[in-house]
Every structure is written in structure tokens, then in C-alpha cells.
Amino acid sequence: MRVIDAHTHIGLAEFVVRPISPEKLKKPAFQDKTTQTHEELLESLDRNGVEKAVVFPFPLAEADEVKANSYVLDAWKRHIDRIIPFALVDDQPLTWAKAGFKGYKQHFLLEPERFDSKRIYREIASTGLPLMAHFPTREIVESAERILGFAPDIKLIIAHMGRCGPYTGNCVMENVARLKKHENVFFETSTIRDLPTFKAALSELGASRICFGSDIPFGSKVGPNPQGDELSLLLQAVTDEEDRERVFAGTILSLVGEA
């Protein structure tokens, strides 16, 4: 069985070029590991039998986006058979698409919008490349439908299945039920770790709208091998072989044009 991880980060501390406020540093993300080299990423892929991964920078407004995106692009060029590069959203998405990126990532809690959203999302949609979005907690549906209002055809991946708290299934099925009607909305599984929620979402959506992700290196505070833990639990939820082919590889590969 092929395994493609649809949610991983790489980046260096030196890419953060502006001070992070004390209030922001209290957020859960900053209580975990917030750097990872591409070599460390590959070690995790090898350890867990993961063929390749979607890779994007740590989504920080305080980071130099050009340096962060360029680091991912360079890693992809060195390991083109292991890395699927996604760029942080900025005001020039077409430039990143031309550079070789296969998708985009936006984190609305750590990197708020600061550009002409309507133009940006329409440009992303025009590339045919997917956008993975981590939306504000308890504003998942409203945030997703706002983007869909700007760009109805955009391929939108809901990070963490739209959960309201790390390592829980809280809010997932409510958001799944409300967004199910949008056939170009997909759901990525990282940091849920709730077996009943996985099974319910699979039954509601079908395997072709769900993709496995781990969010590494996040999760290091709860175990030494977060990617392996995420993979192991999802395997318990998805038992049908055809469903596994879609969830663990087929869905994300189709979205990035590699199916």
C-alpha cells in the first residue's frame, strides 16, 4: 500500500525575521517543535514507510516567506521523488506555481490574511492547484464558504478535518455535514486521533474526499514518532483495501495531479 503524507512542515529558525508576540507564543503550536530540516523529514518518512509527503513551511506571519518557500522548493529539487512542495499563501501565488509548487497552505491562526483575498483565491483556483487551509476554530464552515464564494472551483482541503481542538474529534462531524455539499472540499486527517470520528467521516464522505496527514514535526510533545502514531490509528479506521488506496495516497495525488 502506498502512503503519502499530505501534511508536513520543514523550516529553520533563521527564517523568522520579525518578533513573535508573547501572547502568540502562548498558542499550542509554539509549545511543540517548530523547526525541522528536510533531512529530519526524510528520516521520519523512511522510519514509517511513507513514500513521499506534501511539504510546506511553518506558517508564520513573522517569517520571511520567500526564504521559507525557497527552502521547500530546494528540498523538492533535491528529493523530487519524496517531496510534494506547497507554498505559503502570499500576494503572488502565480509566481510560486510557475516555480514548481504543487499547492498552497494557509494557517489563519498563525498567519492572518493581509492581501486582496478575492484576487488571490481566484488566482489559486486558476492554477488548478489545491489550497490547504487551517481555519479559525469554530469558524470552519464560514471561512471555507467565504473562499468558495470568491473562487467556487478552488480545490480546498480542510486541515485537521476542521476539528476544534488538537487530538480530538470535536466539531469534525458537524463541519463535515455542513461542507459535504461542496464536492471540491476535501478533509485532511492530522491531529484528530479519534477512531470513531475517522470512521464516521469515512462513512459520510467516502474515501475519495479524505487524505492522510500527520502534521509533523508537530505532535513531538505527545510522542517520539507522531507520524507513525497518526498512521497507525488511521489504519485501524480504514480497513477496506480500496478505501486505503484513496485515503493514504489516491486522494492527495489526484489533487496535485500525480494520480
Mean pLDDT of 188-193: 98
Q: How confident is the model at residue 109 (pLDDT cuts 50, 70, 90)?
A: confident
- Evaluate if residue 38 carries a pLDDT over 80: yes
Res 202: pLDDT? 98
Quote the radius of gyration of the chain (alpha carbons, Å). Answer: 17
172 phi/psi in degrees, rounded to 5: -60, -55
Residue 71 CA to residue 56 CA, distance in Å, equals 9
- Evaluate if residue 96 carries a pLDDT over 80: yes
pLDDT, tens digit (0-9, with 9 covering 90-100), for 143-159 = 999 999 999 999 999 99
Mean pLDDT of 105-114: 85
Please give the residue that has the higher pLDDT: either 178 or 24.
178
Task: Assess contact for 215 and 191: CB atoms under 8 A.
Answer: yes
Q: Where are the domains of the chain?
A: 4-255
pLDDT, tens digit (0-9, with 9 covering 90-100), for 117-147 = 999 999 999 999 999 999 999 999 999 999 9
Residue spans of beta strands (DSSP E) within the chain: 4-9, 52-56, 83-88, 103-107, 131-134, 156-158, 185-188, 210-211
| Percentage, residues of the chain above pLDDT 70 | 100
160 phi/psi in degrees, rounded to 5: 60, 25
Residue 127 CA to residue 98 CA, distance in Å, equals 9
| Residue 155: closest CA among 1, 6, 3 | 6
| Percentage, residues of the chain above pLDDT 90 | 93
Res 171: pLDDT? 98
Pick the CATH number of 4-255 from 3.40.50.720, 3.40.50.2300, 3.40.50.10860, 3.20.20.140: 3.20.20.140
